[in-house]
Structure 1
Amino acid sequence: MTVPSGIYIRKARIQDVRTIHALLMDCSKQGLLLPRSYNQLYSHLRDFFVLAQDQGAILGCCALSITWDDLAEVRSLAVAPECRGQGWGRRLVEACLSDAITLGIFRIFTLTYQAHFFERLGFQVVSKDNLPQKVWADCLHCPKFPDCDEIAMSIEM
């Protein structure tokens, strides 16, 4: 698949936060992912990659969040509707996986409603019991805890 000119993946910048938030909120309303607050986005901005257009538009995002010394999470994957089905979600996740390898982290997980997408990338369904660091760090603060309906998946590279 060829990459259209003028669209590329880069690290997020401070001026991207409002657009990332709007994109995540739109996807959240569609039931595709859980929402993120502005506070969470500003606090974890360095975790994010964005799908950007030369004109400055942000068309997608994805984050790699370090959970423990040997574990990281791919989270907040969102792609604008007009860009879906073109491989951009895959490329965003691959940017996060590459970042994990660079950091020396080879066990990556995600909590998702999009299991088939992540299966095509090599992730496998796992029990949330395999992710105690995630549960104690983030899940306790989630309004869906302890009745989480996301699917836990992981990949080892």
Structure 2
Amino acid sequence: MSAIRKARMGDVKYIHKLLFDCAQRGQLLARSLSRIYGSIRDFYVVEDEAGGLMGCCALSICWEDLAEIRSLAVAEDRRGQGLGRTLVTACLDEARELGLSRVFALTYEVGFFGHMGFAQVEKNDLPQKVWTDCLNCPKFPECDETAMLIKVEAVA
């Protein structure tokens, strides 16, 4: 049994290590400790019965109607247990509660996000992302991630 919760300051070093490990395998872009500390309120973590962390994911607001799923990572030995789906669902629920209508991800895991209802879009359809984060990315302008978007209904 696992539990999902908002991240706390004590989780930062675990999140950093998990993201670094996934980045080493080419699964996502690494984040610095400073960036994780600065955005800790965006993160969810999933923990096991003993309180050990098994994965993380963040919902980052980009614009009045747009947010991004970022830093989705599950420990290598915990994959295939639905933890990624649980983390993304928590972020989508929060997006609805905040009144956001669109959530996107830049990903190498097209199949996973496709199964969650995301559809492939052009990066140019996300100008708020391109002009804020992408310009500072070491992969810009040769980004090899796929942009995926889902529309969500706000909670009334």
Structure 2 stretches of 5 or more lacking a match? none
| Structure-2 separation of matches of 1:86 and 1:54 | 15
| Structure-1 separation of matches of 2:147 and 2:34 | 24
Q: Secondary structure at the match of 1:32?
A: coil
Question: Any idea what the Cα deviations from partners look like across 1:59-116, whole Å, max 9, x if unmatched?
Answer: 1000000000000000100001121101110000000000000000020000000000
1:54 Cα shift? Answer: 3.7
1:55 Cα shift? Answer: 2.7
Picking from 48, 72, 83, the partner of 2:43 is 48
Name the residue aligned to 2:136.
141
Q: TM-score, normalised by structure 1?
A: 0.95
Name the residue aligned to 2:120.
125
CA RMSD in angstroms, aligned pairs only: 0.8
Identity among equivalent pairs (%):
57
The amino acid across from 1:17 in the alignment is V
Name the residue aligned to 1:101.
96
**Number of positions where the alignment pairs a residue of Structure 1 with one of Structure 2:** 152
Dislocated runs of 4+, deviation >3 Å = none
Q: TM-score, normalised by structure 2?
A: 0.95
Name the residue aligned to 1:64.
59
Structure 1 stretches of 5 or more lacking a match? none
Q: Secondary structure at the match of 1:82?
A: helix
